[in-house]
Structure 1
């Protein structure tokens, strides 16, 4: 997918709303044993990359070092017409950071009231001497908004073949 196409998907109105409204996603990756994994993660979108912070002892780090290709899914909406999703594919780049990954705190400040975020930061700083910063630069992205008909192509084709009842 070309960068222009990725940028268009990520800048669609609903995609921008998803990125601004939530800091929760699902990360899919291949474990060291070759089997798939999907785990809930917090993330922060910098405008160029999705940043996930974790403990330096997290099992996913060893897996990502061997298999850096990942997928990230961000969803919202609890009705068929309100369902929206952003699917991203990319490559994970891991850096060990002394102290706390700045984007980890930025995500907390985005999703918590100021007082709660300050308490969270105090606790996190006491807990982590280091963190792993996982940066995912999108190589593919697709935004779906089921209520507006922005759906996967295979579903569009199926819908075209449906004859409405008389």
Structure 2
């Protein structure tokens, strides 16, 4: 891949990250079975931050097995379908009050008056939150409309047919 293509892919991935705060977190539960849960996230520039209540079942599992995957999807048509797959490790910190990135993620899709009401309601519910920081170790961006797709799919499409 040429430098210009890499720069464009990076810009497109950053656009996808900024465009939504919805993702799917995959981890291994305490019983050894896989789990995928929808989560809100915030990208700090170094880690993806997810917040939950301090007694969420996923926290015990993540303390035992820190390897996780995060999937972020976007696009409403096949031509603008994009996805970002992340593998990394999770670390957990329980904080008093609200995880700041939790509010920042929610605010991405809210008007200021709605955000203010949301903040008020959240502060009334939580006296503590668990901050899950996911540090990426591997990232892959797919832009299906632009023809950037998994190598295995491209190889399949390019195969010689009888």
TM-score by length of 1: 0.89
For residues 101-143 of structure 1, the C-alpha deviation after alignment (integer angstroms, 9 at most, x for no partner) is 0101111211211111111111111110100000001000000
Residues 9 and 141, structure 2, Cα contact 8 Å, conserved in 1: no
Aligned equivalent of 1:74? 72
Distance in 1, matches of 2:88 and 2:133, equals: 9
* Matches of 1:114 and 1:45, distance apart in 2: 20
Query: Aligned-pair RMSD on alpha carbons?
Result: 1.6
Q: Distance in 1 between matches of 2:135 and 2:86?
A: 9
Q: Residues of 2 paired with 1:115 and 1:109: CA distance?
A: 10
Q: Which moved more, 1:37-46 or 1:103-112?
A: 103-112
Q: Do the aligned partners of 2:51 and 2:130 also contact (CA within 8 Å) in 1?
A: yes
The corresponding residue for 1:49 is 47
Change (3 A) 1:60 1:14: same
Three-state SS of the structure 1 residue aligned to 2:80 is coil
Map of 2:138 onto structure 1:
140
- Correspondence list, 1:85-104, <5 A: 85-104=83-102
Q: Which runs of 5+ in 2 are unaligned?
A: 1-5
Describe the shift of the 1:21–1:76 C-alpha distance in structure 2 as closer, same or farther (beyond 3 A): same
The structural deviation recorded for 1:54 is: 0.3
| Pairs aligned (count) | 156
Q: 2: CA distance between counterparts of 1:62 and 1:83? A: 34
Please say if residues 49 and 137 of structure 1, whose CA atoms lie closer than 8 Å, have aligned partners that are also in contact: yes
